[in-house]
Amino acid sequence: MARSGLTHLDAQHKPKMVDVGAKEVTLRSATAEARVRLPATVARALRASGHRTRKGPVFDTAIIAGVMAAKRTHELIPFCHPLGLDSCDVEVAHPRGGDIVVRCTVSVRHRTGVEMEALTGAAVAALTIYDMCKALSHDLEITAVRLLAKAGGRRPFKRAGGGKRR
């Protein structure tokens, strides 16, 4: 680790990819969440249509986009290692009177974690929902893109409150 404590900087403070070659291969997992806030009229219209727009099934399309994005995270985030994911599960829920909640859980047996893959999957699924609903309104908002939990590495993490909205 560089003297600064930041893992992606060398001793001269130049950016670098972390060398994970000496780390132990372990099962690593991460869960991230993103929320899409809709105006009440859009939420009602989506529910009434079975979560379909003229572009097609919103939630199914978002799930596919989230999985595709998680698998390609290393192509989007410069210092992420390319990983052959063991699993990627994207769930989309639209509770009555609430935001659309996207959760992405990723796992891999590797030397590096998958929190960026989970965050990317959740964020791209939320962006897909925005894209498919923008014809109904541009007053949509993607909020609370955050890591909920990670396991299998040196520093496990679990968000206090179980990831419930505050």
Tell me, yes or no, if 86 is annotated catalytic. no
Torsion of CA 103, 106, 112, 113, to 10 degrees: 30
Q: CA 102 to CA 120: how far, in whole Å?
A: 11
pLDDT tens profile 141-154: 999 999 999 999 88
Q: What's 26-152's CATH class? A: alpha beta
pLDDT tens profile 9-20: 777 777 777 777
Question: Taking the model in full, what pTM does it have?
Answer: 0.88
Q: CA 69 to CA 120: how far, in whole Å?
A: 6
List per-block mean pLDDT (blocks of 10 residues) for the chain, which spans 166 residues.
59 76 87 97 94 96 98 94 96 91 97 94 98 95 97 92 55
Which residue matches tokens 């991230």?
A: 32
Catalytic residue among 10, 60, 131, 139: 131
